[in-house]
Amino acid sequence: MTTEESKSEFFTITTGDTAEANQEPRRTVTIFERYIQPCVAELVGSTLFIFIGCVSVIGNVGVAGSIQPALAHGLALGIAITVFGEISGAHFNPAVSVCVYLVGGMELMLLVPYIVAQLAGGLIAAGLAKLVSSNVAFEIATGAAFTTVKSNSEIGMATVAEMIMTLFLTMVVSMGAVNGRTRTPLVPFCIGLTVTADILAGGGISGACMNPARAFGPAVVANYWTYHWIYWVGPLAGALLTVSIVRLLTGDRKMRVLWK
């Protein structure tokens, strides 16, 4: 008998028996539902979320402040998580996928396909954003690529900012969606607000990316690679720091490796 796959929590793709599953007829989970459909959801969700984010940045040309991009990214992410969360977990971010895997929230077999789908979604989104934007606005905004860092003196500040903001984001994901003691159905709302808050706070320091897929797509389409590595190193470092904290200190007994 095939073990039923549990997808009842946002950001969590796990397998295993539960008390509820033992009391109900078991459903055969197909290869399509277990592996293909989640990757499609990551591709579509990443495309929609990143497209809204890119268009908001391009449309914000000439407007001071980060309110428009912050609200657009946060709202789009919260909605996309609500829609696709039961299918794939709705990561839409390689740093989030790495974090969720390392805290025990998804299968290793899905990690690389998820990241590929997210990067592909970023490429499609950036291409669509260029298609619907005027050439002038697109060029001024550098295709919504991250151009905040202008000199070597700003590298350290931007990298640390990306690390801390991604730490905040992945901590909300880990504690609000994966950790058994603190899991909440409000997690899409919480994650959307976290992204909004991060952009409002750190947009002027690093651009507040927190997502290598969000940085990768526009960088390819606009061919802008200056300091691009910051938006991989910072978010992944923040995700790994979250994993360390959750696994050692804040996770429940199932997630902690010490102090059980």
Q: Does residue 122 lie in a domain region?
A: yes
Q: Does residue 92 lie in a domain region?
A: yes
Q: Does residue 24 lie in a domain region?
A: no
Q: Does residue 150 lie in a domain region?
A: yes
pLDDT over 70 at 78, yes or no? yes
pTM to 2 decimals?
A: 0.89
Q: Does residue 260 lie in a domain region?
A: no
More confident residue, 63 or 204: 204
Binned at pLDDT 50, 70 and 90, residue 24 comes out as very low
How many structural domains is the chain composed of? 1
What per-residue confidence (pLDDT) applies to 12?
53
Torsion of CA 7, 9, 11, 13, to 10 degrees: -30
Binned at pLDDT 50, 70 and 90, residue 153 comes out as very high
What per-residue confidence (pLDDT) applies to 258?
85
Q: What is the mean pLDDT of residues 209-226?
A: 98
pLDDT over 60 at 30, yes or no? yes
Q: What is the mean pLDDT of residues 148-177?
A: 97
Q: Does residue 177 lie in a domain region?
A: yes
Lowest mean pLDDT among 12-16, 158-162, 197-201: 12-16
Domain limits for position 137: 5-18+29-250
Q: What is the mean pLDDT of residues 142-159?
A: 96
Q: Does residue 256 lie in a domain region?
A: no
195 in Cβ contact with 73 (< 8 Å): yes
Binned at pLDDT 50, 70 and 90, residue 66 comes out as confident
pLDDT over 60 at 11, yes or no? no
Q: What is the CATH number of the domain that holds 170?
A: 1.20.1080.10
CA 185 to chain centre: 18
Mean pLDDT of the chain: 90
| Model pLDDT for residues 179-202, shown as the tens digit of each residue | 999 999 999 999 999 999 999 999
Q: Does residue 98 lie in a domain region?
A: yes
CA 60 – CA 73 distance, rounded (Å): 13
